[in-house]
Structure 1
Amino acid sequence: MSPIGYRVLPAAAQPVSSQMLQAFATVGVAQISDCMGRLYGVRGLRPLHAAHAGRLAGLARTVKTRPGDNLMIHKAISLAQPGEVLVVDGAGELANALVGELMAMDAERRGMAGFVIDGAVRDADVFAQGAFPCFARGVAHLGPYKDGPGEINVPVCVGGQVVCAGDVIVGDADGVLAIPAAQAEQVLAAAMRKEADEAAIKDKIRAGTYAKPWMDQAIAAKTGGAQ
């Protein structure tokens, strides 16, 4: 058994089907977030890839690494399965890039769905022009070290959200979040209802029939009904 600091844990079982992931790719991150109580979500990371890449949806392969070091990130990519998302807890450090063009090429060739990096990346122009999804905290031209420590498939904290291996990762232009695998089916159903409700509201706005009775009710509750 590897010592703590260099552990590579087994990949999580896959209770989330490819069909469910495809369905998540049709739902906006904002709508999913609303259905998780607006309590969960990765903060401070932004999409660096081209807008035409579409939504990211896949299962998390997590990495916790020493800030500025990508030894175990390379190892995680070498173990990756198609459809997985590399989720890296780099402690938000921006001094050294953790991934760049070559690692993205390798990951994409292996069928990975994208990167979520709580740290810096480089080769930003390549990401900006490409369709491989990459969410990161920032950009740095300085490269990483390759000494470790680091661990794979352990729980990580990325942008304030705890992510476990096998969690569903969804990202779009608004940002990225993780959904625990055990709650994925429930959250997906609620988010799809939310999308349908918003589609109905759009139709009412177009028709000029949209009303907001909750607005005056909220004001009345705060003012005792005084106008």
Structure 2
Amino acid sequence: MTAPETIAELARLGVATVYEAGGRTGLIDHEWKQLVPGVSVAGPARIALCGAGDNRAVHEAVALLQPGEILVLTMEEAAPVALIGDLLVTQIRRAGAAGVLVDAAVRDAADLATMGLPISARWVRARGATKSIRGQVDVPVTVGGATINPGDIVILDADGATVVAASQAESVLAASLKREQNEATARQRYLEGTLSYDQHGFREEDKDA
């Protein structure tokens, strides 16, 4: 189990830093709509792999949710069907979830925004899901080119989403903290007048070209 302190630091560092420091792996590469703008959260993945246009698996996953988890909702083929709305989000909030990643649509978007739960979704659509296909819960899924296993750490913020394998969370955190320090040093240099064009040696390369 990943330590809560590690998860909190990964959330603070954010998607871009963790993705880059982790060797540019794990990016959940879609355009995500953040219903509560500007938030950054992370947590272990609780996964629902839904049937086509169906959200029965979401109800099962919500019944299993633990505090601090990120609920990951997807289908074999993503479609703009609303897998959650305000009634399911009411339950998700009560369970103490850290956030929700929806590889499909949400509805009741205005209400969801006021509820405060961090939700990143592919679409906002009124079209509702059926409840006739059980689907699967807590199985590995692929979303946006990234494999997400149950318990892997999913990070959501204004830049998008990324995932870190639970077994690599500590090493990725260490690399992310080092990157943060390097960026702070570079930022100070730029404030003092250094140009990235020179720092990276591009000026000399261009002279020799």
Instruction: Judge same fold: TM > 0.5, yes or no.
Output: yes
Name the structure 1 match of 2:97.
112
Using the alignment, how far apart are the partners of 1:72 and 1:118 within structure 2?
14
* Aligned counterpart, 1:82: 67
Shift of 1:43: 1.4
Contact kept, 8 Å, 2:36 with 2:119, in 1: the verdict is no
C-alpha distance in structure 2 between counterparts of 1:218 and 1:98, whole Å: 54
What is aligned with 1:203?
188
| Partner of residue 187, structure 1 | 172
Give 1:200 deviation, angstroms: 1.5
The reply on whether 1:61 has 2:64 as its aligned counterpart is no
**1:42 counterpart residue number:** 28
Classify the secondary structure of the residue corresponding to 1:116.
strand
* Secondary structure of the structure 2 residue equivalent to 1:204: helix
Number of equivalences: 207
SS of residue paired to 2:202: helix
State the alpha-carbon separation in 2 of the partners of residues 157 and 20 from structure 1.
24
Tell me how large the CA RMSD over aligned residues is: 1.8
The residue type paired with residue 26 of structure 1 is R
Superposed displacement of residue 165, structure 1? 0.1
1:110-162, CA deviations, whole angstroms, 9 ceiling, x for partnerless residues? 10111111111111122334421111111110111001131011001112211
Helix, strand or coil at the partner of 2:48: strand
Q: Matches of 2:37 and 2:149 in 1, distance apart?
A: 27
- Indicate if the aligned counterparts of 2:28 and 2:143 stay in contact, CA closer than 8 A: yes
Mapped contact 1:48–1:127 kept (Cα < 8 A): no
**TM-score, with normalisation over the residues of structure 2?**
0.92
Between the aligned partners of 2:85 and 2:31, the Cα distance in structure 1 is: 16
Structure 1 counterpart of 2:14: 28
Most deviating of 41-50 and 170-179: 41-50
Matched to 1:42, the amino acid is I
Answering whether residue 61 of structure 2 is matched by residue 71 of structure 1, we say no
8 Å Cα contact 1:45/1:176 also seen in 2 = no
- Cα distance in 1 between the residues matched to 2:37 and 2:125: 21
Deviation at residue 33 of structure 1 after TM alignment: 1.0
- Which amino acid counterpart does residue 67 of structure 2 have in structure 1? P
TM-aligned CA distance change 1:202 to 1:129, over 3 Å: farther
Give the corresponding residue for 1:174.
159
For 1:179 and 1:60, how far apart are their aligned partners in 2?
A: 10
Partner of 2:57, secondary structure, is: helix
- Specify the code of the residue in structure 1 equivalent to 2:18: I
Query: C-alpha separation between the residues in 1 aligned to 2:18 and 2:70?
Result: 18
Corresponding residue number in structure 2 for 1:92: 78
Letter in 2 for 1:75: E
d(CA) in 2 for partners of 1:187, 1:39: 11
